[in-house]
Amino acid sequence: MNTSYQKRLASKILRVSPKRVKVSDDKDVGEALTRNDVKHLIVKGLIKKVQKKGTSRVAARRRLEQKKKGRSSGRGKRSGKKHALTARKDLWMRNVRAQRALLKDMRDKGQIDTDVYSSMYRKSKGGEFRSRKHMLSYMKDKDMLKTKKRGDANA
Q: Where in the chain is the domain with CATH 1.10.1650.10?
A: 4-49
Average pLDDT over residues 3-20: 94
Pick the CATH number of 88-141 from 3.40.50.800, 3.50.50.60, 1.10.10.10, 1.10.1200.60: 1.10.1200.60
Intervals of CATH 1.10.1200.60 along the chain: 88-141
What percent of the chain shows pLDDT beyond 70? 94
Each as own residue / partner, the long-range contacts of residues 119-125 (CB below 8 Å, 24 or more positions apart, any chain) are 120/144, 124/96, 124/99, 124/100, 125/96
Which of these, 95, 133, 142, lies nearest to 115 by C-alpha position?
142
Q: Mind listing the pLDDT tens digit for each residue in 100-143?
A: 999 999 999 999 999 999 999 999 999 999 999 999 999 999 99
Classified by CATH at the fold level, domain 4-49 comes out as: 50s Ribosomal Protein L19e, Chain O, domain 1 (1.10.1650)
| Stated pTM of the model | 0.50
The rounded mean pLDDT for the chain is 91
